[in-house]
Structure 1
Amino acid sequence: MVNKQRTSAVLAALVLISLCACQYSTQTRYNYSEVGQVQVVQFGTVVAVRDIDIYGENSGATALAGAAGGAALGAGTGNGFSSVAGGVAGAAAGAALGSGLEQAIRRRGGVEYTVVLQNGKTITVAQNVSEKDTILEINDRVMVQINGQYQRVLPANNLPEEIEKPKGIKLK
């Protein structure tokens, strides 16, 4: 009985760790790898907005945790061959359960923006949304951050449309 409780505790801990890894980039949330990286910005105007569903990609971590927990629980159900068979069946069931759980957790709503940039190009960006984000509307002035990993459409209505040329350093 103690062994099953320990296995359940380990499985629960692995699932919680997997859940914490489900963070995603938004307007206001940056991945650690993005911090300190240059973000090229282009200005534009939103011409269309629509809600979208985002389906997560399985990392395999939750399936692996489920397989380990299921194998441990299944192996504890019998002796000899039945213990091995229980472990194999438990691993398969745990992996399927873990994978399905991760898929359900990573499923979320998002928004797709269609933006006409200053250079005349039209782009669409599917974007994650968090509770802190501003949902943009048609005709909003925006800046699009482009870094090769994750593009963001950010509000720019509050930014000036014209500024003085920044002061530089003159070389002698």
Structure 2
Amino acid sequence: MQYARIISLILTTFFLGACASNLSGDVYTRDQARREMTVRAGVVETVREVRMEGTRSGTGTLAGGAIGGVAGSNIGGGKGQIVGAILGAVAGGLAGSAAEEKLTQKNALEITVRLDNGQTVAIVQEMGEVFHPGERVRVLSNYNSSRVSH
């Protein structure tokens, strides 16, 4: 019975991690749909691969804490079980948080664009479209969000 709980908590953690949002240039959020965007044209100056940090939503911490608590409660008997559950929950929470952050990291691009007006902008977005120096591109912006597109 305990193993079934642990397995279900592990699977829940991985499924929730798979729900992480996509920040590439070809994906729009629901809020961005049907909103006017400013379009500026320019030329790609540089493209650099970078890592985008993972999420820290608390899901990994909760799942890890639950798994660690269940696993720790199997240690000892009586008050030892309680101490084991508490220590297991704390250790599991820390491990779950670290695992969530690592599992949700993304490969991204830092794209520097010299706009036609002479201004230079750099935008980081998740890998998707491939960009090369010298290519003509569009920079689409609304509010505090921008993306580079062909």
**Structures share fold, TM-score greater than 0.5:** yes
Shift of 1:21: 2.2
Q: Which residue of 2 aligns with 1:52?
A: 50
CA contact (8 A) 1:10 1:69 kept: no
Q: Which residue of 2 aligns with 1:65?
A: 63
**CA distance in structure 1 between the aligned counterparts of 2:142 and 2:63, rounded to whole angstroms:** 33
> One-letter code of the match for 2:63?
A
**CA distance in structure 2 between the aligned counterparts of 1:70 and 1:32, rounded to whole angstroms:** 36
Q: Structure 2: which 5+ residue stretches go unaligned?
A: none
CA contact (8 A) 1:7 1:73 kept: no
Question: C-alpha deviations, 1:79-112, integer Å up to 9, x for none?
Answer: 3311110111111111111111112112232111
Shift of 1:149: 4.8
CA contact (8 A) 2:6 2:70 kept: no
How high is the sequence identity, in percent, across the aligned residues? 27
Shift of 1:153: 0.4
Length-normalised TM-score, structure 2: 0.88
- Count of residues in Structure 1 that have an aligned counterpart in Structure 2: 150
- In structure 2, the CA distance between the partners of 1:152 and 1:93, relative to structure 1 (3 Å rule), is same
Q: Structure 1: which 5+ residue stretches go unaligned?
A: 156-172
- Map residues 135-154 of structure 1 onto 2, 5 A cutoff: 135-154=130-149
Question: C-alpha deviations, 1:37-92, integer Å up to 9, x for none?
Answer: 33222111111111112222411111111111211221233433111101111111
Q: Which runs of 4+ in 1 moved over 4 A?
A: none
**CA distance in structure 2 between the aligned counterparts of 1:10 and 1:73, rounded to whole angstroms:** 13
Q: Larger C-alpha radius of gyration, 1 or 2?
A: 1
CA contact (8 A) 1:68 1:94 kept: yes
Q: Which residue of 2 aligns with 1:80?
A: 78
**CA distance in structure 1 between the aligned counterparts of 2:15 and 2:144, rounded to whole angstroms:** 24
**CA distance in structure 1 between the aligned counterparts of 2:8 and 2:29, rounded to whole angstroms:** 27
Q: Which residue of 1 aligns with 2:129?
A: 134
> One-letter code of the match for 1:20?
A
Question: C-alpha deviations, 1:126-151, integer Å up to 9, x for none?
Answer: 1111xxx3211111111111123532
**CA distance in structure 2 between the aligned counterparts of 1:31 and 1:124, rounded to whole angstroms:** 21
- Secondary structure at the counterpart of residue 25 of structure 2: coil
Q: Which residue of 2 aligns with 1:89?
A: 87
CA contact (8 A) 2:48 2:109 kept: yes
Length-normalised TM-score, structure 1: 0.78
Give the structure with the higher percent strand: 2
Higher-RCO chain (CA-CA 8 Å, sequence separation at least 6): 2
Question: C-alpha deviations, 1:1-41, integer Å up to 9, x for none?
Answer: x1x12321331232123212223221222233323333222
- Secondary structure at the counterpart of residue 50 of structure 2: strand
**CA distance in structure 2 between the aligned counterparts of 1:36 and 1:67, rounded to whole angstroms:** 41
